[in-house]
């Protein structure tokens, strides 16, 4: 009899352990699926490149759009992204001194009649057959003149920061309300920081 109860107890315990492991794995896979489905922005690299009288910003970032956002885009809702740059001179006993802050925007849209995706940057428009090609173009920022060399001083150390975000204020009013607190529409990168090596 003792052997019988011991055998049953082991079977029940094993069954419970299986359910716990199964639920744990299901939760993990569900979380991964939700994360993968959500929209996101991530800056990979950023640098300031010297030109004749100024410095130009080059940057690369990853842009992922959820199925909901892609659907809205295909229905004619444009996505406007703000690119925000800032250069600071750190102060030990006071607030950092802002040398310059600048912003630029780039818009991704879809033209239903031509079935083409459009990327509009600084009034320069490019067309693409696929969304992937349009995202690839949008994800590479080149030759944005952000800093005049006359603003810099020899011997100073500067800190640069860059952030990219979806400008929700440019969405249609009903969608602005829906976008509040939504992981699908809350596209904003973490601020990317670096210390430029200026040659003056």
Q: List, as one string, the DSSP characters of 132-161.
A: HHHHHHHTEEEEEEEEEGGG--TT---EEE
> In this structure, are residues 193 and 87 in contact, taking their beta carbons and an 8 Å threshold?
no
Going by the DSSP 8-state scheme, the letter that residue 25 receives in this structure is H
Q: Identify the bridge partners of residue 84 per DSSP, sorted by sequence position.
A: 103, 163
pLDDT in tens, 50-94: 999 999 999 999 999 999 999 999 999 999 999 999 999 998 778
What's the token pair of residue 44?
A: 């990979």
Instruction: Quote the pTM value.
Output: 0.78
Alpha helices by DSSP H, the chain? 2-37, 67-74, 131-138, 173-179
Burial (CB < 10 A; 0-12, 13-18, 19+), residue 181, is exposed
pLDDT in tens, 21-52: 444 443 333 333 334 467 899 999 999 999 99
């Amino acid at each position: 009899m003792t052997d019988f109860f011991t055998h049953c107890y082991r079977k029940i315990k094993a069954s419970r352990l299986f359910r716990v492991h199964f639920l744990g794995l299901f939760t993990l896979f569900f979380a991964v699926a939700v994360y993968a489905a959500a929209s996101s922005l991530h800056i990979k690299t950023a640098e300031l490149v010297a030109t004749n009288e100024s410095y130009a910003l080059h940057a690369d970032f990853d842009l992922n759009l959820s199925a909901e956002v892609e659907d809205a885009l295909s229905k004619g809702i444009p996505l406007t992204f703000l690119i925000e740059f800032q250069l600071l001179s750190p102060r030990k006993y006071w607030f950092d001194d802002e040398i310059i802050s600048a912003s630029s925007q780039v818009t991704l849209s879809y033209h239903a009649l031509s079935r083409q995706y459009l990327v509009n940057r600084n009034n320069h428009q490019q067309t693409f057959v696929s969304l992937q090609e349009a995202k690839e173009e949008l994800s590479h920022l080149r030759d944005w003149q952000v800093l005049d060399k006359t603003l810099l001083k020899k011997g100073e150390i500067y800190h640069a920061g860059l952030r990219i975000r979806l400008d929700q204020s440019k969405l249609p009013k009903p969608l602005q309300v829906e976008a509040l607190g939504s992981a699908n529409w809350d596209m904003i990168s973490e601020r990317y920081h670096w210390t430029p090596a200026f040659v003056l």
